Amino acid sequence: MVNGIGANEPQLVFNGIGCLAAQVVANFKKGAGGIYLHRGGAKNCWEEWHYEVIFNEDTSELTFKCIEIHGKPTVFYEGTVQGFLELITEEEEEKV
């Protein structure tokens, strides 16, 4: 995570938590329908997945958590943002 980005930043970076959240939504949202945003704490919105971005102010580390919501919520992934991107890219490639 950075505070300010150069025009030719070569690595995957997020200019703060809001930037990271926007990039996650942009990755999943491809048109009308399918993906919706709800207020924090909203329940029973027919959601299938719950995403959390946790920022540790002491270490400046981000943890990304993806929870599958079917019956009892189950943590699908918890770790770095880069690790999550690699996991979903790998799964998408397996579908092809």
Q: For residue 7, is pLDDT > 60?
A: no
* The pLDDT of residue 46: 84
Tokens of 33: 């329908």
Domain-embedded: residue 90: yes
Residue-wise pLDDT for 19-51, tens only, equals: 877 887 888 888 898 888 888 788 788 888 888
24: closest CA among 92, 96, 85?
85
DSSP designation for 59: T
Question: What average pLDDT does range 44-61 have in this prediction?
Answer: 85
Domain-embedded: residue 40: yes
Which pTM value belongs to this model? Answer: 0.64
* Residues 78 and 63 sit within 8 Å (Cβ to Cβ): yes
Tokens of 25: 């939504």
Domain-embedded: residue 24: no
Can you give the residue range of the structural domain that contains 79? 36-95
Domain count, the chain: 1
